[in-house]
Structure 1
């Protein structure tokens, strides 16, 4: 086989005129660039630089504590701060004079919270990054384009420097990738729903479709508890059946908010709500944002299913995928409540209607007081 390969090479090269010249290995740069690159002159150094440009190790290698220590000792402001942290801060009057200098003012206000390990300065548990390394750290925080809020959350666990939040906002605003996927701002200010005082006091329902599959999505406004049911049929009767199963686990809601889908505006659904004393509120036509809680829940479900496909979990059954997503969602603290949906559940049944609704009683009293204070026309046509 070797002889045949050589013969083919000979036939291929036979069409060229060339001269054979011997070159020493140490001078043959392109032959073995990774093990022995000569650096005898500028030309060879340029070749070395071009060859090593394929590697991003030197540019993107994560910052280490040793690099930060060395950079801190070269930073004029941080060197002064490091000296004061180790030897003690001047008297208060001197600090007040020093605080007039913009460079030291952010550190003087935090002097009791500053410490050092070696030559690394820390504010609490966060490492203070020297000026010449801040751009690299911003690139590290901006990796995968997490957005302003998540970049700040990550930074607050590891690093700090004056005006860090401003620098983060600036790098995201100047990033074309981040801006291209940014959500369109609302055209008018949204009026939020009143937050319910009890679990399942008000729930929002909606249907969503993903890859040919239909899902009934229900979210509790109080606890943010989410229910997702894979539906083969979206009729009113099937919708009522699944809602009965959900209500059997978590209790009857006081109010259901939905869009004007045919499943929710049918006489059958209205009868179901009336029999169980559930107030049914429909969002205005062509204003889906009114049912914003359900719309946001639909978006969360669709994004979760998309991520599962991208992660290679599409081979799992739909029930398995939904179970994985719901377990994660229900045990994650919600940004609005600060607690997990699992911590805020409580059942409501028909017997709950026996107890007086104190909140409703108070609201009626407040409405009467407001009516009494407003000028009204009496039966004789005069103002009271």
Structure 2
């Protein structure tokens, strides 16, 4: 009946003029169902105008005579209580009170408006006033008084940061919504208790040495047939020294390293793990008296002493394979060092 004819569309909802009557296209923040409705109306030739509600009698009478069922009325009563509280808080909120005024009476020039007002002004095409509260498209603009309660309700099931943002973007809005959600989730003790471990940072390599015997890494391997082996690797040349011992006490370690350093010289830095033989006071006195800087790696982090750990692993695997049918452990050790 209307196709091919020019007609006038009347509404008492001012934002619909921008959605259905704009010559610049449909606003980006328009709800999808309104976008589809606007696309359908593009097939028709019409003008749209806003009529004050008190002059919109025919449509209002029709709406008032529609009687919802009982279940809807109960739900509507609870919803109206919440909306009434939001509407009252909107008028009490200094910022939203100004936004409410600008939506109805026009926005100031951008360069003269406050920064908080500008954040709403940039989205003015999607802002509207309904029964005393502010809507951003189909989302309710929440006053600052109710934002904490709103975040608590959104986080009731601990859905996680991204899921919580998606839920919020379907129902509510305020300018700092995303940042408030991030801070709220980070402050949740229950979420933190079961959160995944943070990603590992990139490993920081040891500084490269410019001369031999500046840094020596040491570690123990074994026991192999009741014997231990102190392994020392020089970082610059990768030269290994392997000394067999039946004891791995601090005194035995000092004795072994004393003989090694007497033959090859004192290193500048000695690196070891946190074994008790390396952390006792007598070992610290040995290093200090010989001018050696002793560094221990991070506990339970074998990668920090990776050069020694790798050589220990290589040594144990190689000796086990060489010994198959080759005789004693000493012969296997000699073959390993020779090759």
Give the alignment's TM-score, normalised by structure 1. 0.35
> Which protein is richer in strand relative to its size?
2
- Structure showing greater radius of gyration is 2
